[in-house]
Structure 1
């Protein structure tokens, strides 16, 4: 049995590493246009572009590792099944459940590495990428405006922008903490920004929103003021060298600390909580994909290998679409992140258990 397990593991490892290299290279090609634009239009040096390019690799591994597990098991067992090797093993008295042992070991090892990848390596890569991009635009204060992160580079302001398209902003929230009173909140559906020439400032125009304005009779209370346009000057003179981390650039410990700090200011932290649980749940995708791919591959015959490939790819697509959907529900605070972010794993794991029980029975 030990020989069989070693044979199964060898059959899976070759397509695993091949798939990992091919998928990572394909995903990297998707970033070449953006990097080429920096070289041609922005005059960025090739050495800097090379560093940015290399920093994409660990980020992409978070996606390609689970997919490689899925593809490698599918390819290995599709071949074994079509060549009647699975039938020969069963005829020899080998229970199919025993073949799962090396696969679970492979999935477990990859998942452990994924935990380290999501907790340490990817945050470092994201932070270094951000540092390089910021250094490229150091002369332009608008380089500090990035979507999907809490921006604290401006004096006495915490800004969150959902989307940035050129100089156009969408869904902006600004918190202005006050040491002697409640936090003032400004919310706008849209906005525009322009840098102030020669100064570390940005002129911000907010469109269609509400702002908290202090009540003259009760300074510790606010009243809501609706506006069509609202102008602000954002100053970064005292925080020019400060590097803000995106949620994806934070470790679990840093995320929890940031959540605790922002909640004290009554700031919505659903975006940070979503990233916190995403790092955890996606780390187990490799193990789940292995358990899904095994039964799908075994029950197919030689004429159904193409159907088998479609099925495993469909499983991956459904898993990631479900993950993105749950992530959107979590960010909007429709469901608690601690619950909704586990739904894709629970659905996939349930399907894997049912399929494996049918396969080995």
Structure 2
């Protein structure tokens, strides 16, 4: 009988979990859609490349949407079971709330394993593939983004003007290039003709300019003008040499686990904190199970809309705690292990308390407060109608 019951409860969780994954992922992608649409319309980026970009971005979103969708699914599943009095029927058969825990716990373990795979493998693959694709797009679409008789800012700190272009946008005539990459010596180049080529090996673009002049302002108010018959202007699309130390958020798991010899103690500590934080986030799925089951049972009459809002409220509180513990770790107030796992421990204690109160059929403090506020508002509105 228990197998049938567990299968029944387990089957309640996947549908809202998939709905939550799609909904939360779409919400997170909304911030990128405008920029992606701009790349398609203005720079002529193929739609297939945009789809690939979204694919590479998905793992970094899944790291957050999997725990969010899990919490939502448990809230909705147990809210539905409680709203239809099925939880009451199970209790009348001698099955306690602890006996209902294995199905959501098994699902949360599966979600944790999936989230760990995303953290260790999918996110690094997506980030590296996304950077490589963006570089390829920059090389292939730079010529397309240059329009004739328009001052174009296709490259950072540069303005390019072409009086005429050929069909492919590579050969130009009547070229003006204003270069402010070095603010101390701004340069303006005039050329009769020019051609634009990409150099994938050096991740740069080349302007091959002919028959023109270079006008450069020197420091101290000086001025220099140089005539040329042929001049090559190279524009880097990506800085392949890092200007500073690599951020811990950009490091792989292996880099965090094995810092090079001679790394300062503070840097080692920050790497350990980042490592613990990354590993702790997937295990929030298990923590949310202990929080979601009692809240879902208490939320039996509020419907799906309340389940969405309640899940967002819990997740918001969790990420506030995550940010707070991370700040305390960076300021060396907490050790790296406690800084990374502190939010999970805090919410696990809160979830255990809620679970025991619900199992003992005692009202939750927040639920009682919410009901009092609701009754007070209703009473005030009722008095207002009488007047």
**Coarse TM-score class (shorter-chain normalised):** 0.5 to 0.7
Q: Which residue of structure 2 aligns with residue 156 of structure 1?
A: none
Alignment of 1:22-37 (within 5 A): 22-37=23-38
Alignment of 1:71-90 (within 5 A): 71-90=72-91
C-alpha contact 2:280 2:341 (8 A) present in aligned 1: yes
Q: Secondary structure at the match of 1:289?
A: helix
Q: Which residue of structure 1 aligns with residue 126 of structure 2?
A: 125
- Equivalents in 1 of 2:261, 2:181: separation in Å? 28
Q: Which has the higher contact order (CA 8 A, sep 6+)?
A: 1
> Are 2:316 and 1:317 equivalent residues in the alignment?
yes
Q: Which residue of structure 2 aligns with residue 260 of structure 1?
A: 260
Alignment of 1:48-59 (within 5 A): 48-59=49-60
Which of the pair has more CA radius of gyration?
A: 2
> What displacement does 1:347 show?
0.6
- Equivalents in 2 of 1:69, 1:260: separation in Å? 38
Q: Which residue of structure 2 aligns with residue 62 of structure 1?
A: 63
- Equivalents in 2 of 1:299, 1:262: separation in Å? 54
- Equivalents in 1 of 2:182, 2:266: separation in Å? 26
User: RMSD of the alignment, in Å?
Assistant: 3.4
Q: Which residue of structure 2 aligns with residue 343 of structure 1?
A: 342
> What displacement does 1:96 show?
1.6
Provide structure 2 residue ranges, at least 5 long, that are not aligned to the other structure: 141-155, 158-179, 190-201, 203-235, 361-387
Alignment of 1:1-361 (within 5 A): 1-136=2-137, 194=182, 247-248=248-249, 250-257=251-258, 259-261=259-261, 263=263, 268-269=267-268, 271-302=270-301, 309-361=308-360
- Equivalents in 2 of 1:321, 1:64: separation in Å? 16
- Equivalents in 1 of 2:64, 2:11: separation in Å? 23
- Equivalents in 2 of 1:308, 1:17: separation in Å? 15
TM-score computed with the length of structure 2 as normaliser: 0.62
Q: Give CA-to-partner distance per residue, 1:40-90, whole Å, 9 cap, x none.
A: 444434333222111111111111111111011111111111111111111
Provide structure 1 residue ranges, at least 5 long, that are not aligned to the other structure: 140-165, 168-191, 201-236
- Equivalents in 2 of 1:313, 1:14: separation in Å? 18
> What displacement does 1:304 show?
7.6
- Equivalents in 2 of 1:138, 1:247: separation in Å? 29
TM-score computed with the length of structure 1 as normaliser: 0.66
